[in-house]
């Protein structure tokens, strides 16, 4: 499959909390990038973790995005043209994609039980080596009557490369990855699997997200290859730190965007501040949203961590 040159990006929050400062910056960068290029900005709610996702948080994320002025395009057939997409409404798609990989031999049935895997994990721990699934079911095939998970076949040797717009080429040795599970034995798809199935199906051209996801990227790249789909461009945006230079959390300041709204801050000020956390254009400090749309480029996003200063 060829790239068609269309700019399509997504913001993919998990509704397990309010939209926080880091998420807002990621949403903004995606939105600005799409609007600058006349592309498409998709909102995709990653709600497959049913134990932690709530409708209240999803609604709160919508509110925060609307307040900031970040409108999204497109949506599922059902429920109107303006989305968002919800992963829990797309389970059939994930199962079908997993079965296709199985038929093509790119994924295989693993009949190891969770007790067996747990025992092996403990054993690795006792030997102080990282636990990795050893691939023992790779050539086993179906075992009648035994439930199975589907695992992706990953080469034992070699490396996988990620060309990141901000960091350049990053390589990961395959021996550090294992044949990860794409579909659990209860038929539910895993997090990394849903992300890639959606990025393929939604024809995402650029994956712009926080660099806390960089460790997922090599696993995901293998899956793009298994689907025979060209890689999107990746841009992993450096994380946001608190004043003491540890990862920003509630200890440092309110991190929920709606809390700033409720305190009476103006959305224009917040947008300006979030963008300026890790993007600049000369010495200019204040920008209107329209100015940001016309000036925003990924190349001008900074490569080092940003410090969040609530005083500003
Ligand atoms: N759902 C993930 C999050 O909330 C984002 C996944 C992605 O952007 O690939 O952090
Ligand atoms: Zn197995």
- Mean pLDDT of the region 44-52: 93
Query: Which of 8, 9, 11, 13 gets mutated to test ligand 1 (max ligand atoms within 8 A of its CB)?
Result: 13
Higher pLDDT, 50 or 196: 196
pTM for this entry: 0.93
Query: Would residue 6 show up in a list of annotated catalytic residues for this protein?
Result: no
Distance from Cα 110 to the centre of ligand 2, integer Å: 4
Tell me what the pLDDT averaged over the chain comes to. Answer: 92
Q: What is the β-pairing status of strands 306-307 and 240-241?
A: parallel
Query: Which of 24, 87, 213 gets mutated to test ligand 1 (max ligand atoms within 8 A of its CB)?
Result: 213
For the chain, percent of residues with pLDDT exceeding 90 = 79
224 pLDDT more than 70 = yes
Q: What is the 3-state secondary structure (H, E, C) of the chain?
A: CCCCCCCEEEECCCCCCCCEHHHHHHHHHHHHHHHHHCCEEEEEECCCCCCCCCHHHHHHHHHHHHHHCCCCCCCCCCCCCCCCEEHHHCHHHHHHHHHHHHHCCCEEEECCCHHHHHHHHHHHHHCCCCCCCCCCCCCCCCCCCCCCEEEECCCCCCEEEEEECCCEEEEEEHHHCCCCEEECCCCCECHHHHHHHHHHHCCCCEEEEEHHHHHHHHHHHHHHHHCCCCCCEEEEECCEECCCCCECCCCCCCCEHHHHHHCCCCHHHHHHHHHHCCECCCCCCCCCHHHHHHHCCHHHECCCCEECCCCC
Query: Which of 206, 209, 235 gets mutated to test ligand 1 (max ligand atoms within 8 A of its CB)?
Result: 209
Within 6 A (CB) of ligand 1 lie 12-14, 46, 195, 209, 213
45 pLDDT more than 70 = yes
Distance from Cα 138 to the centre of ligand 2, integer Å: 7
Angle, helix 55-68 to helix 267-276, in steps of 10 degrees:
90
Distance from Cα 51 to the centre of ligand 2, integer Å: 26
Query: Going by CA atoms, what residue is nearest to atom 10 of ligand 1?
Result: 13
Q: How confident is the model at residue 141 (pLDDT cuts 50, 70, 90)?
A: confident
1 pLDDT more than 50 = no
- Mean pLDDT of the region 49-78: 91
Look at residue 248 in the predicted model and tell me its pLDDT. Answer: 83
Ramachandran category for residue 274: left, alpha or beta (phi over 0 → left; psi -120 to 50 → alpha): alpha
Query: Going by CA atoms, what residue is nearest to atom 6 of ligand 1?
Result: 12
- Mean pLDDT of the region 66-73: 95
Tokens describing residue 177: 């990855």
Distance from Cα 133 to the centre of ligand 2, integer Å: 8
Look at residue 3 in the predicted model and tell me its pLDDT. Answer: 64
Atom of ligand 1 minimally distant from the CA of 14: 4
For the chain, percent of residues with pLDDT exceeding 70 = 96
81 pLDDT more than 70 = no
Choice among 6, 122, 140, 250 that is catalytic? 250
Distance from Cα 139 to the centre of ligand 2, integer Å: 10
234 pLDDT more than 60 = yes
- Mean pLDDT of the region 139-145: 87
What sign does the CA torsion over 179, 184, 185, 187 have?
negative
Query: Going by CA atoms, what residue is nearest to atom 7 of ligand 1?
Result: 12
Look at residue 178 in the predicted model and tell me its pLDDT. Answer: 94
- Mean pLDDT of the region 71-98: 87
Q: How confident is the model at residue 76 (pLDDT cuts 50, 70, 90)?
A: confident
Look at residue 157 in the predicted model and tell me its pLDDT. Answer: 95
Find the range with the poorest average confidence among 86-95, 126-135, 225-234, 297-306: 297-306
Q: How confident is the model at residue 305 (pLDDT cuts 50, 70, 90)?
A: confident
Atom of ligand 1 minimally distant from the CA of 13: 4
2 pLDDT more than 70 = no
Look at residue 165 in the predicted model and tell me its pLDDT. Answer: 94
Q: pLDDT (tens digit, 9 = 90+) per residue, 153-182? A: 999 999 999 999 999 999 999 999 999 999
Which among 188, 8, 19 is positioned nearest to 88, based on CA atoms? 188
């Amino acid at each position: 499959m060829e790239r068609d040159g269309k700019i399509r990006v997504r913001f993919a929050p998990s509704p397990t909390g309010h939209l926080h400062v880091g998420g807002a910056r990621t949403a903004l960068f995606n939105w600005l990038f799409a609007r600058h290029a006349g592309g498409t900005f998709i909102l995709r709610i990653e709600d497959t973790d049913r134990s932690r996702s709530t409708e209240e948080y999803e609604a709160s994320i919508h509110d925060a995005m609307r307040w900031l002025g970040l409108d999204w395009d497109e949506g599922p057939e059902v429920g109107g043209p303006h989305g968002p997409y919800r992963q829990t409404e797309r389970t059939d798609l994930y199962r079908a994609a997993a079965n296709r990989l199985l038929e093509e031999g790119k994924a295989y049935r693993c009949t190891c039980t969770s007790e067996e895997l747990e025992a092996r994990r403990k054993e690795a721990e006792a030997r102080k080596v990282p636990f990795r699934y050893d691939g023992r079911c790779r050539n086993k095939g179906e075992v009648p009557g035994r439930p199975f998970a589907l695992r992706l076949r990953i080469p034992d040797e070699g490396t996988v490369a990620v060309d990141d717009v901000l960091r350049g080429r990053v390589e990961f040795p395959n021996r550090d990855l294992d044949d990860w599970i794409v579909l659990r034995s209860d038929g539910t798809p895993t997090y990394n699997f849903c992300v890639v199935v959606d990025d393929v199906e939604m024809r995402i051209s650029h994956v712009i997200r926080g660099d806390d996801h960089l460790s997922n990227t090599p696993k995901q790249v293998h899956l793009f290859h298994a689907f025979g789909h060209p890689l999107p461009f990746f841009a992993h945006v450096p994380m946001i730190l608190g004043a003491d230079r540890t990862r920003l959390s509630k200890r440092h300041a309110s991190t929920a965007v709606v809390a700033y709204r409720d305190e009476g801050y103006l959305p224009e000020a917040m947008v300006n501040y979030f963008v300026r956390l890790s993007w600049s254009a000369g010495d200019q400090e204040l920008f209107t949203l329209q100015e940001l749309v016309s000036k925003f480029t990924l190349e001008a996003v900074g490569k080092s961590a940003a410090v969040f200063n609530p005083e500003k």
